[in-house]
């Protein structure tokens, strides 16, 4: 299926690893020009090299997203390199475990890591996005709607992303700019792999997590998240805006008792 993304310039924050990397690869496969914005330049450049997105077909911009000037510079470098910007995928973020006990300074720092750069990058890119009738796709988290405990900063940031999705969709509709969010729950990524190795019994923990996922009792893949992101970025979803899409195998919206029901083998 041609998603009509050929030669579209797309920024993907945190695009060197995990969901972001899968999105970068799929954008490139669809003929778009991915721009990775974030840390891990060696990993990002290696990814671009592997998928043939180098030179005029892609770019890695090393950026500390918590810095306002760095966000401004990343947009400027993109426009300098390609002359336009067609969309932004706001993917970067980290569940940093900033709890109620962490204190105000740590809470604000968590918002800087997980929220402020969405506003900053979009602000500096706004004229370019208006000119291209572009798109914005945000990557949220199940914690925006479920909570987890001991992660006030991350949960607040992801909840705010849902609010901004609706606000920006209304604000930018007159310019034809679509704004949508995808919400992952349990997605297998290198970061998830690193986390699971820190628990006491990784395999037993994974088994319990999978058992709570109704569709297939398995985790979502990064590639499945990427497919949703790229579709929402494309003209094929041209009349979809302001929507919160849960890509999670039913994890959030199925009744919690589901995990205790034996699978119907009939």
Domains of the chain and any CATH numbers: 9-187+223-241 (3.40.50.720)
Task: Decide if pLDDT at 47 tops 90.
Answer: yes
Mean model confidence pLDDT for the chain: 95
> What does the pLDDT read at residue 259?
58
Q: What is the pLDDT of residues 50-83, one digit of tens each?
A: 999 999 999 999 999 999 999 999 999 999 999 9
Q: Given this model, what pLDDT does residue 265 score? A: 43
> So what's the pLDDT on residue 266?
39
82 burial level (CB within 10 Å; 0-12, 13-18, 19+): middle
Average pLDDT over residues 161-186: 98
Higher pLDDT, 82 or 255: 82
The per-residue pLDDT for range 183-235, each reduced to its tens digit, is 999 999 988 898 899 999 999 999 999 999 999 999 999 999 999 999 999 99
Annotated active-site residue in 119, 154, 251, 258: 154
Which whole number is the average pLDDT over 252-261? 70
According to the model, what pLDDT value does residue 1 have? 77
- Say if residues 52 and 129 touch (Cβ distance below 8 Å): no
Has 258 been annotated as catalytic?
no
**Residue 93 Ramachandran class (φ > 0 left, ψ -120 to 50 alpha, else beta):** left
* Three-state SS at 52: coil
Give the pLDDT confidence of 108-131 residue by residue, as tens digits: 999 999 999 999 999 999 999 999
What per-residue confidence (pLDDT) applies to 195? 85
The helix (H) or strand (E) run that includes residue 43 is helix 41-50
**Quick check: 140 and 166 in contact, CB under 8 A?**
no
pLDDT of residue 146: 94
Instruction: Write the CB contacts of 27 (distance below 8 Å, at least 6 apart in sequence).
Output: 5, 8, 10, 12, 33, 34, 230, 233
Q: Under a CB-based contact definition with an 8 Å cutoff, are residues 35 and 45 in contact? A: no
Q: What is the pLDDT of residues 1-16, one digit of tens each?
A: 799 999 999 999 999 9
């Amino acid at each position: 299926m041609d998603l009509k993304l050929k030669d579209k310039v797309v920024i993907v924050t945190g695009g060197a690893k995990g969901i972001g990397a899968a999105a970068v690869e799929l954008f490139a496969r669809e003929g778009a020009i991915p721009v990775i914005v974030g840390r891990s330049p060696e990993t990002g450049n290696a990814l671009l090299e592997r998928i043939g997105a180098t030179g005029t077909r892609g770019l890695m911009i090393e950026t500390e997203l918590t810095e306002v000037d760095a966000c401004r510079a990343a947009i400027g470098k993109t426009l300098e390199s390609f002359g336009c910007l067609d969309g932004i995928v706001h993917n970067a973020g980290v569940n940093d475990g900033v709890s109620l006990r962490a204190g105000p300074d740590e809470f604000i720092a968590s918002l800087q890591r997980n929220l402020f750069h969405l506003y900053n990058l979009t602000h500096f890119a706004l004229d370019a996005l208006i000119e291209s009738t572009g798109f914005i796709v945000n990557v949220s988290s199940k914690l925006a709607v479920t909570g987890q405990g001991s992660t006030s900063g991350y949960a607040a940031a992801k909840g705010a992303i849902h609010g901004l999705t609706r606000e920006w969709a209304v604000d930018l509709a007159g310019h034809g700019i679509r704004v949508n969010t995808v919400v992952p729950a349990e997605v297998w990524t290198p970061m998830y792999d690193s986390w699971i190795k820190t628990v006491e019994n990784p395999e037993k923990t994974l088994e319990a997590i999978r058992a709570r996922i109704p569709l297939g009792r398995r985790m979502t893949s990064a590639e499945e998240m990427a497919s949703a992101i790229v579709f929402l970025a494309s003209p094929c979803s041209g009349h979809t805006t302001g929507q919160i899409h849960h890509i999670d195998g039913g994890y959030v919206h199925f009744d919690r008792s589901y995990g205790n029901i034996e699978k119907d083998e009939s």
